[in-house]
Structure 1
């Protein structure tokens, strides 16, 4: 049996509702596909939005500050850099979150590099941090220095953790919802970054769709109470139960600030299991017993292998 799924980046040429490649494939094969938006691609869009909010709009395809930095690289003493913590604005922000950041960093595993992994994904973050480290040897305008400071704080406080934890399919719905709330709460630190990034992510909440939110049922970090509420949402009666579920979540930002995972679940969530040909008998039992249920464990093992980042397309 062929599993009906597709993983793609989120450009209109791929996911457009009329002429996108995914729609054309569905029409060609005569059945609906389960859409997995590349989470690293979504994070790249969020990163680009934060960079634009901090540094302004570039007048061309290149980032002028980075080009200037590259041109002056040979004159910089690479053995001497300055920690961001010496900055009076950065120090209190990072210090307040230092325990959380260090705890996360100690859990990161470094993997062997692939053959041609391009830095495109993270270039704005990498170059911002690099320029900031050598800011005392590199002439910056007051506006550039302020923008870089804000960008680096966002990368360290928010972006890096979500980037490195983007690989898990079963954790994707919870992490995407938490990321949205984090971006909205970042308004107390930087309103412009919060607004730009949350509006971008709002249009790319693939894993909070009625179907893909079902992955949450296999997330070991989700409480039993939440799983029970999700099951109740999946069993409720709705008028449009026979209609196809939406490909992605559509909610306004005010609603997302108070939303919980169960609010995205519906009777259509079970179609995740249908499209991946997974047994669902365990759904009739209480979540507290799922750990010893063979059907649940088999489905969990399979879902943990799902790829939710399109890394292979960025290599070679």
Structure 2
């Protein structure tokens, strides 16, 4: 079972969108509204607290009781929130002390949230109001506000009327004196006209004194902002203030009158906010009109500063993908990065976009909060959806975990801490290295022995992949270093890039640095341990790792690639037993793509023989023959013990992994199963097989999609607006603009901006 709904609050109960009742607000009232503002309105803690306090103050003003400063009230509410959070974090711990604290806190929830001024009892003049405050401070908040004090209300109304009349009288007097001065000056002008005619040498003096007859220039009404210009300003991270300068200069550059246009910060800000909201509404409407048959939801989290204040929170980009479709749903913030919070946030976004019935798969990083067996976000979200869903663990994340384990086993770097000391030394010495003198694989007996039988195969793979387009220059550099180390030839001159970031979080840096240092080992001082670690890492990367990393995004090839990787690691024991066993132990915990359903991806893999496909089709159709075996849960990942690997690699794979449950993959994506009855030789000409191959081939089995939107949120987290709703509109607008104008080519920029 999944945990408490996100609409429920620990100890407090349900959330409320406003404070109700005829008593002064209790602690429970305030906390329920505070959580509503944070979870449903998506405000941060500080903004939510201030908004809740504003509601509280309405009741305190009705009761005519002096209150504390607004900021102090908010500070008190945030302290109450932190006390509740502390109890919630410890609610799974066993101990009478924790239960006692929870009971004591719960007993005070219906007590008054007291924000009265410290001198309130001396300030209040009416005895009934004093008595009411004392009663509200008692257990259960005795008493209530029954209605208006008519006599006092009439008295206050008379006072307000007097003050308003006094204000108008003073205003009239000021205007009257101003006009009298102007009239006196006009009379003076007429009386001295004859005198002025005699003094023709004196220059004329103009008195710029405003009067009732002075003409006032009309306010500029012409709007300069368009949807495209507004989106462009957002994409370029131009603030409202900077936009004023930029737009003014542009108007001047095209020889127009600036006075004709409404160019000020307020007008520009309001217009941009309206454009963002309308643009987001159009994006959502167009997406809903697509009426997708299925969707795959991606998410990834990142700790970022809150929009207001110095706190930090988890941001969770939620993205939907389908065939030729990708759409950001939102980037909600989480109070905690737990599986339950992630599940609730993703569910809310899917519900908001009407996608709950469309989702057929999750793409996620294999962290405990996502893939935990009992309280992971995937399990909880699947339970909330109420049906079986495909678990597509990010393949890049899986292989990053393996490489990290290999680095630790090779004693290359500390298992904790962000930096690798050897890399830091290398970057400091880079300027002293002669880039034309480097070593290759044949210069060392160990690397020669390990790589000799795979050199041509790996070199051919790397040279072919260099012709591809990559999301990052790191990918290309990594392949180039492999080609150089294996003695291959690159197009053009050999150029080595300046070493970049080297912290442990960047997996690509590990491979790049290892190869680069090994290439220049004769010019860089290394200990014998460091050199041995470099050789182990580099050989593992070249022989086992590079190919599986670069082919990771291919969904159809995933099952066969994983089978081949297991075999490759098992055989690598002959080269480096410890490294091979370390990698195997990690990998067998992540056989997501050998599960009952995912292994059926391979039915579209051209590397599977016709005979194997024939056997696979028979096994997939077995559910029609054996109704008893249809009962059972579909496994989310294949289970394999380390001692069973020798038998596993000698099985008929992937045929032996196919079960009658595998056919659910085709049913999930509305792929007709009739082609399974045909001879596999004819499948390539069958329309349903082609449709299935296109759909499965389009599945994104790496989480680069969500990671791109993490980067988007990082870029704009502190830019342009601090309003949570506008921040979501901003992200949608920027993503849409980048999709429409992916580059700066003239042809691209000349395209019209279609809403």
Q: Same fold (TM over 0.5)?
A: yes
Contact 2:621 2:663 in 1 (8 A): no
The unaligned stretches of length 5 or more in structure 2 are: 1-292, 294-357, 476-500, 712-755
Give the CA deviation at 1:293.
1.0
The CA distance in 2 between the partners of 1:287 and 1:120, in whole Å, is 43
Determine helix, strand or coil for the equivalent of 2:683: helix
Q: Confirm whether residue 110 of structure 1 aligns to residue 468 of structure 2.
A: yes
Three-state SS of the structure 2 residue aligned to 1:6 is strand
C-alpha spacing 1:256/1:90, structure 2 compared with 1 (3 Å): same
1:53 lines up with 2:439 in the alignment: no
Per-residue deviation at 1:125?
1.3
Q: Deviations over 1:252-290 (max 9, x none)?
A: 232422231111110100111222222211112221111
Distance 1:284 1:171 in 2: 23
Distance in 2 (alpha carbons) for counterparts of 1:269 and 1:39: 20
Going from structure 1 to structure 2, the CA distance change for 1:3 and 1:284 (only over 3 Å counts) comes to: farther
Alpha-carbon displacement from aligned partner over 1:194-224 (angstroms, at most 9, x marks no partner): 1000111100111100111111111112101
- Is this contact kept in 2: 1:49–1:200, CA < 8 A? yes
**Paired residue for 2:635?**
246
Alignment of 1:166-315 (within 5 A): 166-236=552-622, 237=626, 239-253=628-642, 254=644, 255-259=647-651, 260-315=653-708
State the SS of the aligned residue for 2:362. Answer: strand
Name which of 78, 81, 97 aligns with 2:454. 97
Distance 1:115 1:196, change over 3 A: closer
Shift of 1:296: 0.9
What is the SS of the residue equivalent to 1:4? strand
Contact 1:226–1:262, Cα closer than 8 Å, also in 2: yes
SS in 1 for 2:607: coil
Tell me the SS of whatever aligns to 2:543: helix
* Displacement after TM superposition at 1:96 (Å): 2.2
Rounded Cα–Cα distance in structure 2 between residues aligned with 1:187 and 1:114: 33
Give yes or no for the alignment of 1:146 onto 2:532: yes
| 8 Å Cα contact 1:8-1:38 kept in structure 2 | yes
Work out the CA distance in 2 between the residues paired with 1:238 and 1:76. 70
Distance verdict in 2 for CA 1:158–1:112, change over 3 Å: closer
- 2:359 and 2:564 map into 1 onto residues whose CA distance is 29
Summarize the Cα distance change of 1:37–1:242 in structure 2 as closer, same or farther, 3 Å threshold.
same
Output the CA distance in 2 between the equivalents of 1:18 and 1:8.
Answer: 16
- Does structure 1 retain, via aligned residues, the 8 Å contact 2:412–2:534? no
Q: 1:104 to 1:59 in 2, by over 3 A?
A: closer
Determine whether 1:14 maps to 2:406: no
State the distance in 2 between where 1:45 and 1:224 align: 35
Match in the other structure for 1:137: 523
RMSD (CA atoms): 2.2
Distance between the aligned counterparts of 1:59 and 1:304, measured in 2?
A: 37
Give the Å deviation of 1:238: 8.0
In 1, Cα distance between the equivalents of 2:450 and 2:412?
23
**How far apart, CA to CA, are the structure 2 residues paired with 1:202 and 1:311?**
23
**Cα gap change, 1:153 to 1:55, in 2 (>3 Å):** same
CA distance in 2 between counterparts of 1:53 and 1:59 reads 10
Equivalenced residues, count: 316
Give yes or no for contact 1:3–1:275 (8 Å, CA) kept in 2: no
Aligned residue for 2:690, secondary structure, equals: helix
Larger displacement relative to structure 2 (284-293 or 101-110)? 101-110
Change (3 A) 1:139 1:165: same
> What is the CA distance between 1:185 and its match in structure 2?
0.8
- The answer for the alignment partner of 2:444 in structure 1 is 87
Instruction: Check whether the contact 1:69–1:131 (CA below 8 A) recurs between aligned residues.
Output: yes
Q: How far did residue 57 of structure 1 move?
A: 5.9
Deviation at residue 110 of structure 1 after TM alignment? 2.7
Structure 2 residue 569 is matched with structure 1 residue 164: no
TM-superposition CA deviations, 1:44-89 (whole Å, max 9, x none): 1121122222125615312232233233334333443322331122
Q: Separation in 2 of the partners of 1:59 and 1:294?
A: 51
- Structure 1 distance, partners of 2:408, 2:370, is 24
Select between 285-294 and 178-187 the one with higher mean Cα deviation.
285-294
* 3-state secondary structure, aligned to 2:552: coil
SS at match of 1:222: coil
Q: Distance in 2 between matches of 1:116 and 1:74?
A: 20
What is the aligned counterpart of 2:430 among 73, 83, 88?
A: 73
Q: CA deviation at 1:174?
A: 0.5
Distance in 2 (alpha carbons) for counterparts of 1:207 and 1:5? 13
Per-residue CA deviations over 1:160-206 (Å, capped at 9, x if unaligned) read: 11111112111110111110110011000000111000111100111
- Residues 77-114 of structure 1, C-alpha deviation per residue, up to 9 Å, x if partnerless? 34433223311221233232222122222321331545
> TM-score, with normalisation over the residues of structure 2?
0.40
User: If you compute each CA radius of gyration, which structure gives the higher value, 1 or 2?
Assistant: 2
1:120 matched to 2:478? The reply is no
Partner of 1:106, secondary structure, is helix
Q: Residues 113, 246 of structure 1: CA spacing in aligned structure 2 closer, same or farther, 3 A cutoff?
A: closer
